[in-house]
Chains A and B, each alone.
Chain A
Amino acid sequence: GQNIDQPTEMTATEGAIVQINCTYQTSGFNGLFWYQQHAGEAPTFLSYNVLDGLEEKGRFSSFLSRSKGYSYLLLKELQMKDSASYLCAVRDAWNSGNTPLVFGKGTRLSVIA
């Protein structure tokens, strides 16, 4: 089966750092994605991990441990505009060009002053 777990909600203060965790159980693994989704809008791509380790992109970093079925998204220097849902998604097949993603339910992050 497929299961992706992430916290439902988180709150953090402007200027702080927040870590959003994601654990997954899938039959295969061929990459993990993080998307940001503002209310009423489409998801936008943030990061992609397929190998273990940390990928850094400006204020956003994403980490993957395949052996643990675990990833996190790290947001630094939080801004009010970072208030959004953050979706973890896994591609659960090997070397397949068109395997769809399996999405978690998303973590709703609220940034407060």
Chain B
Amino acid sequence: DAMVIQNPRYQVTQFGKPVTLSCSQTLNHNVMYWYQQKSSQAPKLLFHYYDKDFNNEADTPDNFQSRRPNTSFCFLDIRSPGLGDAAMYLCATSRGSGEETQYFGPGTRLLVL
């Protein structure tokens, strides 16, 4: 089945220790998104790629970086995680034309100790 996959589902890291979250998709969608969602809050867009074009939200901290080496994969790098970065990180994809329904992966829950 075509889908969006995120690994790992749960990630524990130490304060200040770099961590990378991964997302892959078999939908062959042009657009990939990374959202941060804290408890009882709306998903907050961090950045997105349209093909190789990177779009950073104005209020995304510099601590967050992203890479998209090919159509299928996208990575979220948190260079120096703080306690406030503990959250669910959601990857989503969309075709990039027309309706723009976004399809979400299962998410990675990050815990910072």
Residues of A within 8 A of B (CB): 4, 30-31, 33, 35, 40-45, 48, 50, 87, 91, 97-101, 103-106, 108
Contact = CB atoms under 8 A, between A and B. Distances in A.
A98 B90 contact: no
Contacts of A98: 30-31, 48, 50, 55, 94, 96, 100
Nearest to B104: A42
Contacts of A44: 104
Contacts, number: 62
A50 B102 CA distance: 15
Given A40-B109, A98-B31, A98-B50, A103 B42 contact: yes
Instruction: Give the interface residue-count category, chain B.
Output: 20 to 34
Contacts of A97: 30-31, 50, 95-98, 100
B28 to A, nearest CB: 15
